[in-house]
């Protein structure tokens, strides 16, 4: 795996410690790599009204957007529990910023998977825009 992606995963791993997950107790961290080489992190934020929970990936993307960045190369997700791949909602949000974005997540305790978002979300919904 690319050195930059290892660094991205490490940022996601560190970020997960700040997760707000009193209900599931699952701490998830995510990190987004921008075209400029900047990294923005996010954590899952749960709510007593469970459906309001925001996943780590979306938090990271919204963090980057809030800092004026919207060109993304990769998104990494890390949880202590291996095998956490982005949920469907997060896949749709990642796809919004480009079909070519790499998504990195833990396959098992030792290995990582790197897949294009277009592979994780084939035939994604687009709102009258050309494929990006």
Distance, CA of 60 to CA of 42 (rounded, Å): 4
Residue 69 Cα distances to 31, 32, 72, 76, 130, angstroms? 13, 10, 8, 17, 21
CB of 130 to ligand THU, least distance (A): 28
CB of 49 to ligand THU, least distance (A): 13
57 is catalytic: yes
Q: Environment class of residue 60 by beta-carbon count within 10 Å: exposed (0-12), middle (13-18) or buried (19+)?
A: buried
Q: In this complex, which beta carbon is closest to ligand THU, that of residue 1 or of residue 87?
A: 87
Residues that bind ligand THU (CB under 6 A): 21, 24, 26, 28, 44, 46, 53, 55-57, 77, 84, 86-87, 90
Q: In this complex, which beta carbon is closest to ligand THU, that of residue 53 or of residue 99?
A: 53
The one catalytic residue among 57, 69, 96, 119: 57
């Amino acid at each position: 795996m690319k050195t930059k992606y290892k660094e991205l995963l490490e940022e996601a791993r560190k970020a997960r410690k700040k997760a707000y997950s009193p209900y599931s107790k699952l701490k998830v961290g995510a990190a987004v790599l921008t075209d400029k080489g900047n990294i923005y992190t996010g954590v899952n934020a749960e709510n007593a009204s469970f459906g309001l929970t925001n996943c780590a990936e979306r938090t990271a993307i919204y963090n980057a957007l809030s800092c004026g960045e919207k060109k993304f190369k990769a998104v990494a997700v890390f949880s202590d529990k291996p095998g956490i791949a982005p949920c469907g909602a997060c896949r749709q949000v990642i796809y919004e910023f480009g079909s070519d974005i790499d998504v990195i997540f833990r396959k098992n305790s030792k290995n990582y998977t790197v897949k294009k978002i277009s592979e994780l979300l084939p035939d994604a919904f687009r709102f009258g825009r050309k494929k990006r």
